[in-house]
Structure 1
Amino acid sequence: MYNGIGLTTARGSGTNGYVQRNISAIRKTKEKVPDYHEKEDTAVRPFDPELVEHERRRQAEVRCMELRDLLEEQGLPDSEIDKKINDFRSKLLAEKKLTYQRDSSGRPV
Structure 2
Amino acid sequence: MYNGIGLTTPRGSGTNGYVQRNWASVRKTKDSVNYRTEEEIAKLDSASNKQPNREILDHERKRKIEVKCAELEDSLEEQGLPREEIAARVAAFRAKLSESSSGDKDVPKDEFGRVA
Q: Which residue of 2 aligns with 1:53?
A: 58
Range with greater deviation from structure 2 (46-55 or 57-66): 46-55
Aligned residue among 74, 82, 85 for 2:90? 85
Whether the 8 Å contact between 1:30 and 1:36 is mirrored in structure 2 is: no
Q: CA deviation at 1:37?
A: 3.2
SS in 1 for 2:40: coil
Pairing partner for 2:80 from 75, 84, 100: 75
Q: 1:43 Cα shift?
A: 4.6
Q: How does 1:1-109 map to 2 (within 5 A)?
A: 24-25=29-30, 27-30=32-35, 36-37=40-41, 39-41=43-45, 43-99=48-104, 101-102=105-106
Report if aligned partners of 1:68, 1:85 keep a CA contact under 8 Å in 2: yes
Amino acid in structure 1 at the alignment position of 2:85: E
Separation (CA, whole Å) in 1 of partners of 2:85 and 2:94: 14
Q: In structure 1, the residue corresponding to 2:44 is in which secondary structure?
A: coil
Normalising by structure 1, report the TM-score: 0.59
The structure with the largest alpha-carbon Rg is: 2
Unaligned 5+ segments in structure 1 are 1-21
Unaligned runs of 5+ in 2: 1-26, 107-112
TM-score normalised by length of structure 2 = 0.56
Question: 1:4 — aligned with what?
Answer: none
Q: Report % sequence identity.
A: 35
Amino acid at match of 1:39: K
Q: Secondary structure at the match of 1:76?
A: coil
Per-residue deviation, residues 53-79 of structure 1 (Å, max 9, x unmatched): 111000000000000010000000111
Larger RCO, structure (CA 8 Å, separation 6 or more): 1
